[in-house]
Amino acid sequence: MITRTATLGICLLLTLASAGKAFAQSPGTFEIGAFARYSLFDNDLNLEDKVGAGGTLGIFLFRNLALEAEGAYTKTNPETGADADITNTPFRGRLTYHIPLGGWASAIRIGAGYVRDMYGDDADFDGNGATGVLGLRVGLSQTFALNVDGTVDYVPSPPDEVGLDSYTNFGVQGGLVLLFGNDYDKDKDGLMDNKDSCLATPVGEQVDTRGCSASQRDTDRDSVKDNADRCPNTASGEKVDANGCSAAQLDKDLDGVTDTADKCANTPSGQEVDANGCSASQRDVDGDGVMDDADKCLDSAPGEPVDPQGCARDTDADGVNDALDKCPGTPNGQAVDESGCGVLFQGAERSVILQGVNFATGKAELTDASKAILVEVAHSLAANPGTRVEVSGYTDNTGSRKTNVRLSQQRAEAVEQFLIQNGASPAQISSKGYGPDSPVASNKTAAGRAQNRRVELHRLD
């Protein structure tokens, strides 16, 4: 069964490989056809798959919907090799819908209905069931088409002598169909020829209810077709140019705004314009000197300095423009508050290590790199006068405790004084040295000792 199903699936995929412009089959169309068929019998019937033939009649009851009657004949033999001839004659009645593909009557066919499945000669039984079809119709001319179909017949309750509860037969068939009485659409515009006022519409152009496209219409009767007419509402009798425009309709920059109302007469081709005929490259709504098409901040305050994108300058790129930024030198990537100053304590944090704040070996002298970091800390404290902190100094355990406590105190005081000198209030800051207490890493390794030599800020408010 898997092999049979795969064979049918391949055939059905091939039936879907064709496409074209939609073309309907009209009510009243009558068809007669003949086909060759390869029948794939249910394994449980123990019959050999064979080639047969058949014929079909059909009439389209509605647009693209046909009532079809079909009969086939296949002569086969038992798979057991027994000397017996068995004939299979299924008669089918079904409704089939044709999905138009174009080109005369080309369509995908999908249908279902009733089957009377009859067996004769050395077998004598009949079964009633349901049938389905999926296939392709390729229109060869106005009257001939090629059908390639896959069928399935399901018989749910065969006679007792069959010895089965149900069986399912598949088939692949192909042949010619002769069609009578179909209406046609020679220019493939979706309107039948007997109702089409423009029978030679170019391929692919959209048409109106009369079957005419813009290249065939002249709505304002100025002798310029609608697809080339830039002024489709010219008053009757007015003389027009090659674009279909009269003197009262001229639009030299072709932006859709007549010259008499156009305040930007030289708009570049293809740019959208406002009611004044001005495009974004010609407007500066907020008057900041940056045209709207390049301006990413169209509501800049009058007189406010802006960058090349028309937005308030933000020199340190912290999201707070320079006019409001109390800490204009915030390091790139540092989180800032609404005043543009670095956030010292995130969330519920009570302490923070001042990363990068270092001293000369064995001394309380700040390095230049440390000063640059502490300037921003000072600015942040100045911008948040309600924040109170303790500068806490720590060392590793190398040397005596007394020496380490004294050194850490001196370093904490050095940081305190630097912060005050750079804008922080003395009321906000105190300092204390803790020597080797509270290590954050092991003192057994150089890396650990380096981590323990640090300065922290402890929040007191």
**DSSP of 236-264:** TT----TTS--GGG--TT-SSS-TTT-S-
Please tell me whether residues 58 and 198 are part of one structural domain.
no
318 neighbors 334 (Cβ within 8 angstroms): yes
176: in domain: yes
- Lowest pLDDT segment from 54-58, 107-111, 145-149, 187-191: 187-191
Please tell me whether residues 56 and 117 are part of one structural domain.
yes
**DSSP of 335-365:** -B-TTS-B-SS-TT--EEE-TT--BSTTS-P
Number of domains in the chain: 3
Contacts of 49 (CB under 8 A, 6+ apart): 4, 38, 39, 40, 41, 76
Quote the CA–CA distance of 296 and 14 in Å, as a whole number. 53
pLDDT at 371 over 90: no
pLDDT, tens digit, 9 for 90 and up, residues 134-144: 999 998 987 89
Instruction: Tell me what pLDDT residue 183 has.
Output: 67
Please tell me whether residues 166 and 27 are part of one structural domain.
yes
- Going by the DSSP 8-state scheme, the letter that residue 428 receives in this structure is G
Instruction: Tell me what pLDDT residue 8 has.
Output: 47
pLDDT, tens digit, 9 for 90 and up, residues 180-222: 987 666 777 777 766 777 877 888 888 888 878 777 787 788 8
pLDDT, tens digit, 9 for 90 and up, residues 294-348: 777 777 777 677 776 767 666 666 666 666 666 766 666 566 666 666 667 777 7
Please tell me whether residues 114 and 173 are part of one structural domain.
yes
pTM over 0.85: no
Please tell me whether residues 128 and 158 are part of one structural domain.
yes
Dihedral sign computed on CA atoms, order 32, 38, 42, 48: positive
pLDDT at 228 over 80: yes
Quote the CA–CA distance of 29 and 179 in Å, as a whole number. 7
Please tell me whether residues 116 and 202 are part of one structural domain.
no
Rg, the chain, Cα only: 44
Residue span of the structural domain in which 113 resides: 2-180
pLDDT, tens digit, 9 for 90 and up, residues 393-420: 998 898 899 998 998 899 889 999 998 9
Please tell me whether residues 96 and 209 are part of one structural domain.
no
- How sure is the predictor about 260, in pLDDT bands with cuts at 50, 70 and 90? confident
For the segment 256-282, the average pLDDT, to the nearest whole number, is 77
Quote the CA–CA distance of 444 and 190 in Å, as a whole number. 88
Please tell me whether residues 104 and 207 are part of one structural domain.
no
Percent residues over pLDDT 70 in the chain? 85
320: in domain: no
